[in-house]
Amino acid sequence: MSEHARKFEAAQESVTKRNILEVQELKTYYKTRLKENVYAVDGVTFAIEEGKTLGIAGESGCGKSTLALSLMGFYFPPLHYGSGSIKVNDIDIMKLSKDQLRKMILGREIAYIPQAAMNALNPTLKIIHFIEDMMKEHRPELTKQQVYEMAAERFTMLHLSPDVLKSYPNELSGGMKQRTVIAISTILNPKVLVADEPTSALDVTSQKAVIRLLKELLDKKLIQSLVFITHELPLLYHVTDDIMVMYAGEIVERGTAHQMIFDPIHPYTKRLMGSIIVPEEGMKEHKLAAIPGAPPNLKHVIEGCRFADRCTFATDACRNGKIGNRHSGDRVYRCIFDVDTLKGWYANEER
């Protein structure tokens, strides 16, 4: 292809790229048995373009799983919708009934693998049963035999043995169980897959196999986009185009995976990365740095910057002021300080 043709194609592609998932000012909360509210997702705005992969990272309890659950429109007590919008492939899912959501959206437009899903499979049912259940809802015209053939074809395509279909969950290793869950969840070719901690609790070899499978689903266009949630930020470097960091129910920074890992702007991202900025090899094995202190209690409405209590640069303005998003080129971060000031401090620390 000539240089001119290649540029034309790239330009066309950028014009036609659209957001497959769009979230605006989403607020969701838990109502506890003691009638207290936990504001776990508190004004989250982000979008993912078709064909892109996005990682969400942050410490335990910062709201990653709640955000994933909220994206599916799964509002069952104790989780409640507060405000904001969620558009999947341009469909505002909050305007749909539970029935429409189940029939038209879940599994077809957006699929979700909950945290620890592989341990939640009913041990008394063979793997094929879970697929038959899905097909009863979405492809009722198929016979059991046709469902089996379709599933076997998909498993083979993803380098999983079709024998797995006849196995019980407990007959499979952890890594195989997780890959099976991923293959089942994506059998209807959803546009977006939201995977919550799909590699946690797996050994390094199984983690690699899971990541290979996710990449294969993307390469074969069986899914268009991926949201990968983990508390291990460096792992995302190998998987996603962009990374978004959450803290106390908010997004504090978003950038490309490379920017977030090698050039963090927000003090929280910087601290998360700690001493991780090392040569690439082995980066996956690194855990997040421990940050002194703990995230704030999400039962209270928090004034000012939520990270202020743990931030060595915080001033009274951070604690009391209104914190908005700042832009630096294509980066977005939530802090009252500009990039040059923050980078100056970081450079000083490293001296």
Ligand X SMILES: Nc1ncnc2c1ncn2[C@@H]1O[C@H](COP(=O)(O)OP(=O)(O)OP(=O)(O)O)[C@@H](O)[C@H]1O
Q: Which stretch binds ligand X (CB under 6 A): 61-69, 128-136, 217-225, 277-285?
A: 61-69
CA dihedral sign, ordered 206, 209, 210, 211:
positive
Region at 293 (left for phi over 0; alpha for psi -120 to 50; beta for the rest): left
Q: How many helices (H) and strands (E) does the chain have?
A: 12, 12
**How far is residue 42's CA from residue 345's CA, in Å, rounded to a whole number?**
29
Query: Applying CB under 6 A, which part among 7-15, 56-64, 118-126, 186-194 lies near ligand X?
Result: 56-64
H helices within 139-173, ranges in order? 144-157
Question: Contact residues for Mg ion (CB under 5 A)?
Answer: 64-65, 115
Residue from 61, 162, 296, 321 touching ligand X (CB under 6 A): that is 61
Q: Does 32 participate in binding ligand X (rule CB under 6 A)?
A: yes
Residue 107 interaction partner, one of Mg ion, ligand X, none, beta carbon < 5-8 Å per kind: none
Choice between 72 and 147, CB closer to ligand X:
72
DSSP-derived letter for residue 336 is S
Of 60-68, 83-91, 171-179, 316-324, the window that binds ligand X (rule: CB under 6 A) is: 60-68
Is residue 40 at the binding interface for ligand X, with CB under 6 A as the rule? yes
Binding mask 114-143 for ligand X (x = CB under 6 A): -x----------------------------
**Least distance to ligand X from the beta carbon of 29, Å?**
8
Pick from 19, 27, 30, 211 the residue near ligand X by CB under 6 A: 30
Specify the residue, 69 or 127, whose C-beta has the smaller distance to ligand X: 69
Give the separation between CA 67 and CA 107, rounded to whole angstroms.
17
Angle between helices 174-185 and 127-138 (to 10 degrees): 10
Smallest distance from ligand X to CB 299, Å? 8
Binding mask 152-171 for ligand X (x = CB under 6 A): --------------------
| Tokens linked to 171 | 């007959």
Q: Cα separation of 247 and 307, whole Å?
A: 8
Residue in 193, 197, 349, 194 with CA at minimum distance from that of residue 273: 349
Q: Which of residues 192-251 bind ligand X (CB under 6 A)?
A: 231
C-beta closer to ligand X: residue 135 or 253: 253
DSSP state of 169: G
Q: How far apart are CA 310 and CA 158, in angstroms?
A: 45
Q: What is the DSSP letter of 101?
A: I
Report, in Å, the least distance between residue 78 CB and ligand X: 5
Residues near ligand X (CB under 6 A):
30, 32, 38, 40, 58, 60-66, 78, 115, 231, 298
